[in-house]
Amino acid sequence: MTHHAYLKSPAADIQTAVDYLPYAEERLSKEVWQYLQSGTGQGLSSSRNRKVFEDISLMPRPLSDVKGGNTHIELFGQSFKHPIILAPLAYQRLFHPDGEIASAMASAAQGGQMAVSSLASQTLETIIEAAEQALWFQLYWQADRETTLRLVKRAINAGYSAIMFTVDAPVKQAAIALPKDISAVNLESPIALAQEVTGESIVFDGWMQQAPGWDDLMWLRDQITVPLIIKGVMHPEDAERAVSIGCDGIVVSNHGGRVLDGVPGSLQMLPEITRAISGKAKVLFDSGIRNGQDVFKALALGADAVMVGRPYIWGLSTCGALGVAHVIRLMRDELEMTMALSGAKNLQVLKSGTYIYSI
Protein backbone atom coordinates (compact mmCIF):
# COMPACT_ATOMS: atom_id res chain seq x y z
CA MET A 1 0.00 0.00 0.00
CA THR A 2 1.19 3.49 -0.78
CA HIS A 3 1.81 5.99 1.98
CA HIS A 4 0.61 8.99 -0.03
CA ALA A 5 -1.81 9.44 -2.90
CA TYR A 6 -0.36 9.67 -6.38
CA LEU A 7 -0.03 13.21 -7.66
CA LYS A 8 -2.22 14.29 -10.56
CA SER A 9 0.66 16.25 -12.07
CA PRO A 10 4.33 16.91 -11.23
CA ALA A 11 4.88 19.14 -8.21
CA ALA A 12 6.22 22.64 -8.90
CA ASP A 13 9.45 22.02 -7.01
CA ILE A 14 10.42 19.06 -9.20
CA GLN A 15 13.05 20.52 -11.51
CA THR A 16 15.22 17.44 -12.11
CA ALA A 17 14.68 13.69 -12.22
CA VAL A 18 16.39 13.31 -8.84
CA ASP A 19 13.81 15.69 -7.34
CA TYR A 20 11.29 12.88 -7.78
CA LEU A 21 13.21 10.69 -5.33
CA PRO A 22 11.53 11.77 -2.05
CA TYR A 23 8.12 11.87 -3.69
CA ALA A 24 8.55 8.30 -4.92
CA GLU A 25 9.86 7.01 -1.61
CA GLU A 26 6.89 8.31 0.38
CA ARG A 27 4.48 6.63 -2.03
CA LEU A 28 6.01 3.17 -1.92
CA SER A 29 6.21 0.58 0.82
CA LYS A 30 9.58 0.08 2.46
CA GLU A 31 9.94 -3.32 0.77
CA VAL A 32 9.18 -2.01 -2.72
CA TRP A 33 11.47 0.99 -2.26
CA GLN A 34 14.31 -1.26 -1.12
CA TYR A 35 13.73 -3.56 -4.11
CA LEU A 36 13.95 -0.61 -6.50
CA GLN A 37 16.94 1.16 -5.00
CA SER A 38 19.16 -1.61 -3.72
CA GLY A 39 22.23 -2.97 -5.43
CA THR A 40 24.13 -6.10 -4.44
CA GLY A 41 26.89 -6.62 -1.91
CA GLN A 42 28.24 -3.38 -0.52
CA GLY A 43 26.86 -1.33 -3.38
CA LEU A 44 30.33 -0.72 -4.81
CA SER A 45 29.24 -0.93 -8.44
CA SER A 46 26.25 1.35 -7.90
CA SER A 47 28.47 3.97 -6.29
CA ARG A 48 31.14 3.58 -8.95
CA ASN A 49 28.59 4.15 -11.72
CA ARG A 50 27.91 7.59 -10.31
CA LYS A 51 31.49 8.46 -9.42
CA VAL A 52 32.72 7.93 -12.96
CA PHE A 53 30.14 10.39 -14.26
CA GLU A 54 31.02 12.92 -11.59
CA ASP A 55 34.73 12.71 -12.37
CA ILE A 56 34.22 13.79 -15.99
CA SER A 57 34.43 17.50 -16.76
CA LEU A 58 32.58 19.25 -19.57
CA MET A 59 34.26 21.72 -21.91
CA PRO A 60 32.17 24.82 -22.72
CA ARG A 61 32.51 26.23 -26.25
CA PRO A 62 30.83 29.65 -26.38
CA LEU A 63 30.10 31.46 -29.66
CA SER A 64 29.38 28.20 -31.45
CA ASP A 65 26.56 28.28 -34.00
CA VAL A 66 24.03 25.74 -32.77
CA LYS A 67 20.88 27.37 -34.16
CA GLY A 68 18.49 24.72 -35.46
CA GLY A 69 20.15 21.99 -33.42
CA ASN A 70 18.35 18.81 -32.41
CA THR A 71 18.69 15.49 -30.60
CA HIS A 72 17.17 13.32 -33.33
CA ILE A 73 18.44 9.78 -33.77
CA GLU A 74 17.81 6.66 -35.85
CA LEU A 75 18.17 3.23 -34.29
CA PHE A 76 17.41 -0.14 -35.86
CA GLY A 77 15.18 1.33 -38.55
CA GLN A 78 13.24 3.65 -36.25
CA SER A 79 13.49 7.42 -35.83
CA PHE A 80 13.30 9.06 -32.40
CA LYS A 81 13.33 12.65 -31.19
CA HIS A 82 16.00 11.94 -28.60
CA PRO A 83 18.40 9.15 -27.51
CA ILE A 84 16.83 8.46 -24.09
CA ILE A 85 15.43 4.92 -23.97
CA LEU A 86 13.46 3.53 -21.04
CA ALA A 87 15.32 0.50 -19.72
CA PRO A 88 13.46 -2.73 -18.99
CA LEU A 89 12.35 -2.81 -15.36
CA ALA A 90 10.29 -5.65 -13.92
CA TYR A 91 6.89 -5.64 -12.24
CA GLN A 92 6.02 -1.99 -12.80
CA ARG A 93 2.59 -2.37 -11.24
CA LEU A 94 4.50 -2.47 -7.96
CA PHE A 95 5.11 1.23 -8.46
CA HIS A 96 1.82 2.41 -9.97
CA PRO A 97 -1.45 0.66 -10.91
CA ASP A 98 -0.97 1.62 -14.57
CA GLY A 99 2.42 -0.13 -14.63
CA GLU A 100 4.22 -0.71 -17.91
CA ILE A 101 1.34 0.76 -19.90
CA ALA A 102 1.95 4.17 -18.33
CA SER A 103 5.68 4.03 -19.07
CA ALA A 104 5.13 2.93 -22.67
CA MET A 105 2.58 5.66 -23.31
CA ALA A 106 4.88 8.29 -21.80
CA SER A 107 7.86 7.16 -23.86
CA ALA A 108 5.84 7.23 -27.09
CA ALA A 109 4.36 10.63 -26.26
CA GLN A 110 7.87 12.01 -25.80
CA GLY A 111 9.08 10.61 -29.12
CA GLY A 112 11.30 7.94 -27.60
CA GLN A 113 11.50 4.19 -27.05
CA MET A 114 11.00 1.64 -24.30
CA ALA A 115 12.30 -1.89 -23.82
CA VAL A 116 9.64 -4.01 -22.12
CA SER A 117 10.86 -6.56 -19.58
CA SER A 118 10.28 -10.30 -19.74
CA LEU A 119 9.10 -9.78 -16.16
CA ALA A 120 6.48 -7.20 -17.09
CA SER A 121 3.37 -7.23 -14.92
CA GLN A 122 1.04 -6.59 -17.88
CA THR A 123 0.67 -8.48 -21.14
CA LEU A 124 2.99 -7.68 -24.03
CA GLU A 125 -0.02 -7.14 -26.26
CA THR A 126 -1.70 -4.66 -23.91
CA ILE A 127 1.49 -2.64 -23.44
CA ILE A 128 2.28 -2.25 -27.13
CA GLU A 129 -1.35 -1.46 -27.95
CA ALA A 130 -1.25 1.40 -25.45
CA ALA A 131 2.04 2.70 -26.86
CA GLU A 132 0.69 2.75 -30.42
CA GLN A 133 4.20 2.18 -31.77
CA ALA A 134 6.66 -0.67 -32.12
CA LEU A 135 8.49 -1.27 -28.83
CA TRP A 136 11.53 -3.42 -28.00
CA PHE A 137 11.30 -6.62 -25.99
CA GLN A 138 13.87 -7.51 -23.34
CA LEU A 139 14.47 -11.24 -23.09
CA TYR A 140 15.56 -13.30 -20.12
CA TRP A 141 16.57 -16.82 -21.07
CA GLN A 142 13.85 -19.28 -20.13
CA ALA A 143 14.09 -22.92 -19.05
CA ASP A 144 15.13 -24.14 -22.50
CA ARG A 145 15.39 -23.04 -26.12
CA GLU A 146 11.86 -24.03 -27.04
CA THR A 147 10.28 -22.03 -24.21
CA THR A 148 12.56 -19.09 -24.94
CA LEU A 149 11.66 -19.10 -28.63
CA ARG A 150 7.92 -19.19 -27.89
CA LEU A 151 8.29 -16.07 -25.76
CA VAL A 152 10.38 -14.30 -28.40
CA LYS A 153 7.92 -15.18 -31.18
CA ARG A 154 5.02 -13.96 -29.07
CA ALA A 155 6.73 -10.58 -28.73
CA ILE A 156 7.56 -10.33 -32.43
CA ASN A 157 4.02 -11.35 -33.41
CA ALA A 158 2.68 -8.61 -31.13
CA GLY A 159 4.72 -6.03 -33.01
CA TYR A 160 7.92 -5.69 -30.99
CA SER A 161 10.60 -4.64 -33.45
CA ALA A 162 13.82 -5.66 -31.67
CA ILE A 163 14.91 -8.23 -29.11
CA MET A 164 17.18 -7.11 -26.27
CA PHE A 165 18.73 -10.22 -24.74
CA THR A 166 19.99 -9.65 -21.19
CA VAL A 167 22.96 -11.94 -20.58
CA ASP A 168 24.49 -10.70 -17.31
CA ALA A 169 21.80 -12.05 -14.97
CA PRO A 170 21.51 -15.72 -15.98
CA VAL A 171 19.10 -16.59 -13.17
CA LYS A 172 16.64 -13.79 -12.51
CA GLN A 173 14.18 -13.95 -9.67
CA ALA A 174 12.18 -11.31 -7.86
CA ALA A 175 14.13 -10.12 -4.84
CA ILE A 176 10.81 -9.27 -3.24
CA ALA A 177 7.70 -11.16 -2.17
CA LEU A 178 5.25 -10.11 -4.87
CA PRO A 179 1.62 -9.31 -4.04
CA LYS A 180 -0.88 -11.93 -5.22
CA ASP A 181 -2.13 -9.70 -8.03
CA ILE A 182 1.32 -8.96 -9.50
CA SER A 183 3.40 -11.49 -11.42
CA ALA A 184 5.38 -12.02 -14.62
CA VAL A 185 2.21 -12.54 -16.62
CA ASN A 186 3.95 -13.21 -19.95
CA LEU A 187 5.97 -16.21 -18.79
CA GLU A 188 4.69 -19.75 -19.11
CA SER A 189 5.94 -20.51 -15.60
CA PRO A 190 8.08 -18.66 -13.06
CA ILE A 191 11.82 -18.75 -13.68
CA ALA A 192 13.06 -21.00 -10.90
CA LEU A 193 16.34 -22.40 -9.76
CA ALA A 194 17.11 -26.00 -10.51
CA GLN A 195 15.47 -28.06 -7.80
CA GLU A 196 17.86 -30.98 -7.90
CA VAL A 197 21.59 -30.45 -7.71
CA THR A 198 23.42 -33.60 -8.76
CA GLY A 199 26.92 -32.20 -8.22
CA GLU A 200 28.56 -30.62 -5.22
CA SER A 201 27.95 -26.99 -6.16
CA ILE A 202 24.54 -25.29 -6.08
CA VAL A 203 26.08 -22.57 -8.28
CA PHE A 204 27.84 -24.56 -11.01
CA ASP A 205 25.68 -27.68 -10.84
CA GLY A 206 22.42 -25.86 -10.06
CA TRP A 207 22.01 -22.23 -11.03
CA MET A 208 24.35 -22.20 -14.03
CA GLN A 209 22.79 -25.29 -15.56
CA GLN A 210 20.06 -22.92 -16.76
CA ALA A 211 22.36 -20.12 -17.93
CA PRO A 212 22.65 -19.40 -21.66
CA GLY A 213 26.00 -19.68 -23.44
CA TRP A 214 27.54 -18.45 -26.66
CA ASP A 215 26.01 -21.37 -28.55
CA ASP A 216 22.56 -20.29 -27.35
CA LEU A 217 23.25 -16.76 -28.57
CA MET A 218 24.22 -18.09 -32.00
CA TRP A 219 21.07 -20.21 -32.03
CA LEU A 220 18.87 -17.24 -31.13
CA ARG A 221 20.47 -15.12 -33.84
CA ASP A 222 19.54 -17.79 -36.38
CA GLN A 223 15.91 -17.93 -35.20
CA ILE A 224 14.93 -14.30 -35.71
CA THR A 225 15.28 -11.64 -38.39
CA VAL A 226 14.59 -8.57 -36.23
CA PRO A 227 17.53 -6.69 -34.68
CA LEU A 228 19.17 -8.53 -31.78
CA ILE A 229 20.72 -6.42 -29.02
CA ILE A 230 22.84 -7.90 -26.23
CA LYS A 231 22.51 -6.22 -22.84
CA GLY A 232 25.02 -6.64 -20.06
CA VAL A 233 28.38 -6.61 -21.87
CA MET A 234 31.37 -5.09 -20.05
CA HIS A 235 34.40 -6.69 -21.72
CA PRO A 236 35.56 -5.56 -25.19
CA GLU A 237 36.29 -9.13 -26.28
CA ASP A 238 32.73 -10.18 -25.43
CA ALA A 239 31.40 -7.24 -27.44
CA GLU A 240 33.54 -8.20 -30.44
CA ARG A 241 32.40 -11.81 -30.24
CA ALA A 242 28.73 -10.85 -30.03
CA VAL A 243 29.07 -8.62 -33.08
CA SER A 244 30.89 -11.37 -34.99
CA ILE A 245 27.92 -13.66 -34.32
CA GLY A 246 25.65 -11.10 -35.94
CA CYS A 247 24.25 -9.05 -33.08
CA ASP A 248 23.10 -5.60 -34.12
CA GLY A 249 23.68 -3.78 -30.86
CA ILE A 250 25.54 -3.94 -27.55
CA VAL A 251 24.32 -2.45 -24.28
CA VAL A 252 27.29 -1.61 -22.07
CA SER A 253 25.79 -2.26 -18.66
CA ASN A 254 26.60 -3.60 -15.20
CA HIS A 255 22.87 -3.97 -14.51
CA GLY A 256 22.86 -0.86 -12.37
CA GLY A 257 25.05 -2.65 -9.83
CA ARG A 258 22.33 -5.22 -9.16
CA VAL A 259 24.15 -8.43 -10.16
CA LEU A 260 27.92 -8.67 -9.54
CA ASP A 261 29.22 -6.12 -7.08
CA GLY A 262 32.70 -4.66 -7.48
CA VAL A 263 32.78 -4.47 -11.28
CA PRO A 264 33.88 -1.30 -13.10
CA GLY A 265 31.43 1.50 -13.66
CA SER A 266 29.73 1.02 -17.01
CA LEU A 267 31.06 4.35 -18.26
CA GLN A 268 34.64 3.21 -17.59
CA MET A 269 34.25 0.44 -20.17
CA LEU A 270 32.27 2.38 -22.77
CA PRO A 271 35.22 3.88 -24.72
CA GLU A 272 37.03 0.55 -24.96
CA ILE A 273 33.95 -1.28 -26.18
CA THR A 274 33.16 1.48 -28.67
CA ARG A 275 36.69 1.21 -30.09
CA ALA A 276 36.50 -2.59 -30.20
CA ILE A 277 33.26 -2.60 -32.16
CA SER A 278 34.43 0.24 -34.41
CA GLY A 279 31.06 1.08 -35.96
CA LYS A 280 30.08 -2.52 -36.72
CA ALA A 281 27.08 -2.37 -34.37
CA LYS A 282 25.19 0.19 -32.33
CA VAL A 283 26.44 0.84 -28.82
CA LEU A 284 23.92 1.68 -26.11
CA PHE A 285 24.83 2.70 -22.59
CA ASP A 286 23.09 1.74 -19.34
CA SER A 287 23.71 2.17 -15.59
CA GLY A 288 23.94 5.37 -13.62
CA ILE A 289 22.20 7.96 -15.84
CA ARG A 290 20.51 10.57 -13.64
CA ASN A 291 20.30 13.70 -15.80
CA GLY A 292 20.86 15.16 -19.24
CA GLN A 293 24.51 15.93 -18.57
CA ASP A 294 25.05 12.23 -17.91
CA VAL A 295 23.38 11.48 -21.24
CA PHE A 296 25.73 13.97 -22.92
CA LYS A 297 28.82 12.41 -21.35
CA ALA A 298 27.85 8.89 -22.42
CA LEU A 299 27.16 10.03 -25.98
CA ALA A 300 30.42 11.99 -26.13
CA LEU A 301 32.28 8.84 -25.09
CA GLY A 302 30.84 6.84 -27.95
CA ALA A 303 27.32 5.66 -27.10
CA ASP A 304 24.65 5.91 -29.80
CA ALA A 305 21.90 6.12 -27.17
CA VAL A 306 21.39 5.65 -23.45
CA MET A 307 19.02 3.71 -21.26
CA VAL A 308 17.46 5.20 -18.14
CA GLY A 309 16.19 2.99 -15.33
CA ARG A 310 15.41 4.05 -11.78
CA PRO A 311 14.73 7.76 -12.54
CA TYR A 312 11.69 7.08 -14.70
CA ILE A 313 10.34 4.70 -12.08
CA TRP A 314 10.60 7.55 -9.56
CA GLY A 315 8.36 9.52 -11.89
CA LEU A 316 6.00 6.59 -12.39
CA SER A 317 5.75 6.08 -8.63
CA THR A 318 4.84 9.73 -8.13
CA CYS A 319 2.27 10.49 -10.81
CA GLY A 320 2.09 7.66 -13.33
CA ALA A 321 2.51 8.35 -17.04
CA LEU A 322 2.81 12.11 -16.49
CA GLY A 323 5.72 11.54 -14.13
CA VAL A 324 7.54 9.32 -16.61
CA ALA A 325 6.98 11.78 -19.44
CA HIS A 326 8.22 14.62 -17.23
CA VAL A 327 11.43 12.76 -16.36
CA ILE A 328 12.13 12.15 -20.05
CA ARG A 329 11.42 15.78 -20.91
CA LEU A 330 13.63 17.09 -18.11
CA MET A 331 16.53 14.93 -19.24
CA ARG A 332 16.07 15.91 -22.87
CA ASP A 333 16.00 19.61 -21.96
CA GLU A 334 19.18 19.16 -19.89
CA LEU A 335 20.83 17.33 -22.77
CA GLU A 336 19.93 20.08 -25.22
CA MET A 337 21.22 22.78 -22.87
CA THR A 338 24.49 20.92 -22.36
CA MET A 339 24.88 20.43 -26.11
CA ALA A 340 24.19 24.10 -26.80
CA LEU A 341 26.69 25.36 -24.21
CA SER A 342 29.28 22.84 -25.41
CA GLY A 343 28.89 23.77 -29.06
CA ALA A 344 27.37 20.49 -30.22
CA LYS A 345 24.55 21.07 -32.70
CA ASN A 346 23.45 17.46 -33.05
CA LEU A 347 24.33 13.96 -31.94
CA GLN A 348 26.40 13.24 -35.02
CA VAL A 349 28.71 16.16 -34.24
CA LEU A 350 28.77 15.17 -30.59
CA LYS A 351 30.06 11.70 -31.42
CA SER A 352 32.81 13.03 -33.66
CA GLY A 353 34.18 15.83 -31.49
CA THR A 354 35.93 16.37 -28.16
CA TYR A 355 33.41 17.76 -25.73
CA ILE A 356 34.66 16.45 -22.41
CA TYR A 357 37.83 17.37 -20.60
CA SER A 358 38.76 14.22 -18.77
CA ILE A 359 37.85 10.67 -17.86
Q: Which residues are catalytic?
A: 255
Residues 314 and 17: beta-carbon distance below 8 Å: yes
CA pair distance 118, 116, nearest whole angstrom = 7
Neighbours of 12 (CB within 10 A): 6
SS3 annotation, the chain:
CCCCCCCCCCCCCCCCHHHHHHHHHCCCCHHHHHHHHCCCCCCHHHHHHHHHHHCCCECCCCCCCCCCCCCCEEECCEEECCCEEECCCCCHHHCCCCHHHHHHHHHHHCCCEEEECCCCCCCHHHHHHHHCCCCEEEECCCCCHHHHHHHHHHHHHHCCCEEEEECCCCCCCCCCCCCCCCCCCCCCCCCCCCCCCCCCCCCCCCHHHHCCCHHHHHHHHHHCCCCEEEEEECCHHHHHHHHHHCCCEEEECCHHHCCCCCCCCHHHHHHHHHHHHCCCCEEEEECCCCCHHHHHHHHHCCCCEEEECHHHHHHHHHHHHHHHHHHHHHHHHHHHHHHHHHCCCCHHHHHHCCCECCC
